[in-house]
Amino acid sequence: MPGNAAVTRSTLRQQIADALRDEVLAGRLQPGRAFTVKEIADQYGVSATPVREALVDLSAQGVLEADQHRGFRVPEYTPADHRNIIEARSLVTDGMFQALADGQEGFPDVDDPRRVSALAGVRRRGEEAGRAAAAGDLTVLIGYDLRYWRELSALFGNPYLSDFLHRLRVQSWVCTVQHLRRLSDLRGRLWSGHTELVDALARRDSTTARGIVAAYNAHSLSLIDRPAGE
């Protein structure tokens, strides 16, 4: 049936996009690596249409970029790119925290039963992210970190803002892993303030939340600026 075919293609498109994004975030697809739609279609044993759609989606997210000569490639981000992405990301979170400080609708009230459950879920993601950071397990950290921020931003009630922040965070991780993979040992060197941040927001303490994110950004920049192998 035409409807079922469309659903199948859409699902396949998402599966391919997720798989390729994970390859980039894990560092298995290196910066500058170029490939064609046919190459990926042959690799996964599927038709070209869902592959092309998946690659276009990933290009829109900054995970890949279109290369008119080879089709698509993994972008090569510089430390300056990283700083610019962090600046953009900070503008979004600052807006979220300001809305919280102003008492605008969106973030659940203290007496809202959804609040306890939702914040508890976000905090669990933060705890797992913290454990991964302490162990230096970058791949696991990225997975939990993305879920953490996705669920946390959703609590502010604006799905457009949440989706935009998620895209920025994916792009920032694509940029960051290209530099962090060169470090010899990441144990104890990755940011792990997820629980402190969600606890501050649970108290509706936007000042502390801003301070935590500012420290996080400074920490990220310091890691990127370190010489290779340190």
What is the per-residue pLDDT for 181?
A: 78
Q: How far is CA 142 from CA 205, 206, 224, in A?
A: 26, 25, 16
In this structure, whether the domain defined by 2-73 belongs to CATH 1.10.10.10 is answered with yes
CA 183 to CA 105: how far, in whole Å?
A: 43
CA 18 to CA 51: how far, in whole Å?
A: 11
Tokens of 64: 């890949």
Instruction: Assess contact for 128 and 120: CB atoms under 8 A.
Output: no
Q: For the whole model, what pTM was predicted? A: 0.85
- Alpha carbon 170 to chain centroid, angstroms: 3
CA 51 to CA 17: how far, in whole Å?
A: 8
| All structural domains of the chain with their residue ranges | 2-73, 79-224
What is the per-residue pLDDT for 68?
A: 74
What is the per-residue pLDDT for 109?
A: 62
- In total, the chain counts a number of residues equal to 230
Among residues 158, 207, 118, which one has the least CA distance to residue 166? Answer: 158
What is the per-residue pLDDT for 8?
A: 56
What is the per-residue pLDDT for 4?
A: 45
Report the CATH superfamily, name and number, of domain 79-224: GntR ligand-binding domain-like (1.20.120.530)
CA 37 to CA 49: how far, in whole Å?
A: 9
Q: What is the pLDDT along the chain (230 residues), one digit of tens a residue?
A: 334 444 455 689 999 999 999 999 988 888 989 989 999 999 999 999 999 999 999 998 889 998 777 789 999 988 899 899 999 999 999 988 887 777 665 566 656 676 678 888 999 999 999 999 999 999 999 999 999 999 999 888 888 989 999 999 999 999 988 888 777 788 888 999 999 999 998 888 899 999 999 999 999 888 877 544 45
Q: Which residues, 6+ apart, have CB-to-CB distance to 9 below 8 Å?
A: 49, 50, 53
